[in-house]
């Protein structure tokens, strides 16, 4: 819709060593790149300190950019159970940090993110990064993690827009 107020979305791609974040504004079908980056932790530090660093980094991003909503990529298990557990902890911090800031938080499977951005759930990272660049003019890939986080935000923008249309249609019927 013309003149629709933009919704600012924070996308998070969890990782214990590198957590990507991206901020977009979505107004109807129009998406705008606002900011992106990566929060890094030192693998030599103890786990509790690294998780705290992730929380503080996400909190700083939220404070600076004031998103309205957040989206986090879900974690799938991999071959190494220890790595899967640590990735799950990083994802938990992402969910916690956004919720603590009062943001509504949605979660998306990696295949849903890829399908939303590229059109197929089996796209590779290069294809996702290329489409993020196409969908967000002005975005210059800073890190793969940041591009992945922007893809999560784009996925949320598409899903949330559909959800809002359905909600509005239901409200219209109830009136």
pLDDT for 1 equals: 44
Residue 1 belongs to some domain of the structure: no
Q: Which of 25, 36, 53, 73 is catalytic?
A: 73
pLDDT in tens, the chain (175 residues): 456 799 999 999 999 999 999 999 999 889 999 999 999 999 999 999 999 999 999 999 999 999 999 999 998 877 889 989 999 999 999 999 999 999 999 999 999 999 999 999 999 989 999 999 999 988 987 799 999 999 999 999 999 876 666 666 776 776 6
pLDDT for 9 equals: 98
Residue 57 belongs to some domain of the structure: yes
13 is catalytic: yes
Residue 52 belongs to some domain of the structure: yes
Q: Please give the helix or strand (H or E) that residue 70 lies within, else none.
A: strand 69-73
Q: How many domains does the chain have?
A: 1
Residue 151 belongs to some domain of the structure: yes
pLDDT for 165 equals: 67
Identify whether the C-beta of residue 86 lies closer than 8 Å to the C-beta of residue 75.
Answer: no
Supply the range of the domain harboring residue 48. Answer: 7-174
pLDDT for 87 equals: 94
- Residue 46 among known ligand-binding residues: no
How does strand 7-13 pair with strand 18-27? antiparallel
- Residue 13 among known ligand-binding residues: yes
Q: Which of 36, 53, 69, 145 is catalytic?
A: 145
Residue 67 belongs to some domain of the structure: yes
Residue 2 belongs to some domain of the structure: no
Identify whether the C-beta of residue 91 lies closer than 8 Å to the C-beta of residue 75.
Answer: yes
73 is catalytic: yes
Residue 144 belongs to some domain of the structure: yes
CATH number, position 113: 3.30.420.10
pLDDT for 132 equals: 96
pLDDT for 138 equals: 82
Q: Which of 13, 25, 36, 148 is catalytic?
A: 13
- Residue 74 among known ligand-binding residues: no
Residue 108 belongs to some domain of the structure: yes
Q: Where are the alpha helices (DSSP H) in 36-109?
A: 47-65, 81-100
């Amino acid at each position: 819709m013309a003149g629709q107020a933009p919704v600012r979305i924070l996308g998070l791609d969890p990782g214990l060593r590198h957590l990507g974040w991206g901020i977009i504004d979505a107004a109807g079908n129009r998406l705008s790149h606002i900011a992106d980056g990566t929060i890094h932790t030192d693998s030599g530090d103890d786990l509790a300190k690294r998780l705290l660093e992730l929380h503080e980094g996400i909190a700083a991003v939220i404070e600076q950019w004031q998103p309205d909503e957040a989206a986090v990529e879900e974690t799938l298990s991999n071959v190494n159970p220890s790595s899967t557990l640590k990735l799950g902890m990083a994802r938990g911090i992402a969910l916690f940090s956004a919720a603590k800031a009062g943001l509504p938080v949605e979660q998306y499977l990696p295949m849903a993110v890829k399908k939303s951005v590229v059109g197929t759930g089996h796209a590779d990272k290069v294809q996702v990064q290329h489409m993020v660049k196409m969908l967000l003019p002005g975005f210059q890939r800073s890190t793969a993690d940041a591009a992945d986080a922007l893809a999560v935000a784009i996925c949320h923008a598409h899903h949330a827009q559909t959800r809002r249309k359905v909600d509005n249609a239901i409200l219209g019927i109830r009136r």
